[in-house]
Structure 1
Amino acid sequence: MTTWILGHRGLLVEGRWLPCTIGRGGKTSDKREGDMASPRGLWTVTGLLYRPDRMARPAPWAEPILPGDLWSDDPARAEYNRPVRAPYTGSHEELRRADPLYDLVMITDWNADAVPGKGSAIFLHQWRRPGYPTAGCLAFRRDRARWLAERARPGTVIRVG
């Protein structure tokens, strides 16, 4: 299986360093919901979402982000760290955002068992601007996020040390 490695120069993919930003809280070995940190360890790409109104499908296995698509980040709810649909009364992130950050989203298996409070919605997506931190995700320039999405497959491993 393909492994991408997060290092001090960015994400190493196919011998190429792609600059990226990480969580505002740096990297952590003890990830908690809301700590704004990127969790250390091995992540696996499990899904690929895209905005069909803003871009062409990046890969055959990509799924469209539709109006009303959300992601639960409410540790008190059974849907924690899972996709949900509006209306949803628990705490959540909108996947179909006004800004372009989630025009392309690679979902990872971080906290796939949905342990309450261990963190949710650890994605790879587009950055706001170079050096601007995320809430725990890895973020890239738009064209590089697309390049990654075209190469990712379910099961691609990301090593964050």
Structure 2
Amino acid sequence: MLSKGVIKCGLVKNRSGAGSSFKRRMSRHIKTVIANCLVLGLCLGISGISHAAETKVSPNGETKSSVYREPKPTSPKETVAKKEKATKGTVQAPTKEKKGATYQNVKHIIVIAGHTNDKSKVTLNDYTLNSDGVWQKNWAVNGVCGEKGISAEKKEGDMKTPEGFFSPIMAFGIKDDPGSNMKYHKLETGDYWVDDSKSKYYNKLVNSYTTAKDWSSAEDMLNEAPYYNYGIALDYNKEGVPYKGSAIFIHCMKSDKDTGSAGCIRIPEDYMIKLIKETDENTKFFIMSNQQTWFDYRDKGK
């Protein structure tokens, strides 16, 4: 409590001469108030900066309106439960590590994409991976595929081309080896590709002079000129699962007026020669009904 005194001209005086002491106390009090205000202002400023730094951007480019913080589970069991809940009913895209492990040696991909206006037509695109890790398109050519288009559910005799990633088994042809970069088989009399699902040789190349016949249906390879002048056999259904489909090749067209095939890909003979010369055991053939599938794969990285 202040001592009794007289207030004059804003200064306090008392009979005991304590005015100067009061002024010192008031000065210290005012300085303390000012200092506290400065501290409070600084804290509010730091809080605003922190808020801005923690603002996240969503995958589609939109900025969240509030601070995002990853929720912290209360226990290890809760973490496991949340992961199981998130996994159910969803299919996650393969991680880069998984893709890299599967296709780590792939530097050459043949992308075969179906046309939207005619499901029996395709464009075959040649891509190589350059030193910067970018897929570079080298050349492209139009061709045909299965009469009924491209399908992930290929069946024997359905007139469809299978969709997916495939590797070459071998190059072959009625004509001499044009300079193949992999194993080349020049077709001989008696060479058949078995398409009878009941045969133990289903989806295999055999020669009737050396193999006991147990099939009722097979392609007479030597008599399929000009289609089999040159070809590359893919490893689709290499296990020979009955009725899953057989004899999936990339081979020559007869002319640019060719219609859909029984399931193979056909391209002009001069491009078939080029393809055989550039294909090796590490080349991948990527067949798809929609070219967007390739863009997604390419843009996410191999």
TM-score using structure 2 length: 0.50
1:10 aligns with 2:10: no
Q: Please state how far the C-alpha of 1:98 moved relative to its aligned partner.
A: 5.0
Residue 160 of structure 1 aligns to a residue whose secondary structure is strand
RMSD: 1.6
Residue 275 of structure 2 aligns to a residue whose secondary structure is helix
Residue 167 of structure 2 aligns to a residue whose secondary structure is strand
Whole-Å separation in 2 of the counterparts to 1:34 and 1:155: 29
Bigger Rg over Cα: 2
Partner of residue 137 from structure 1, selected from 235, 257, 264? 264
1:59-74 alignment to 2 at 5 Å? Answer: 59=180, 61-74=183-196
Partner of residue 83 from structure 1, selected from 205, 210, 218? 205
Label 1:58 to 1:134 Cα distance change in 2 as closer, same or farther (>3 A): farther
Deviations, residues 77-105 of structure 1 (Å, cap 9, x unaligned): 11000011125351100111252100111
Q: Please state how far the C-alpha of 1:59 moved relative to its aligned partner.
A: 1.3
Which residue is equivalent to 1:101?
227
Whole-Å separation in 1 of the counterparts to 2:254 and 2:284: 24
Unaligned runs of 5+ residues in structure 1 are none
Whole-Å separation in 2 of the counterparts to 1:108 and 1:121: 8
Following superposition, which runs of at least 4 residues in structure 1 exceed 4 angstroms of deviation?
Answer: none
- Same amino acid, percent of matched pairs: 25
Contact persistence 1:50–1:57 (CA under 8 A)? no
Bigger helix fraction = 2
> Higher relative contact order at CA 8 Å, sep ≥6: structure 1 or structure 2?
1
Which residue is equivalent to 2:282?
155
Contact persistence 2:178–2:277 (CA under 8 A)? no
Contact persistence 2:178–2:273 (CA under 8 A)? no
Unaligned runs of 5+ residues in structure 2 are 1-105, 116-121, 128-136, 289-302
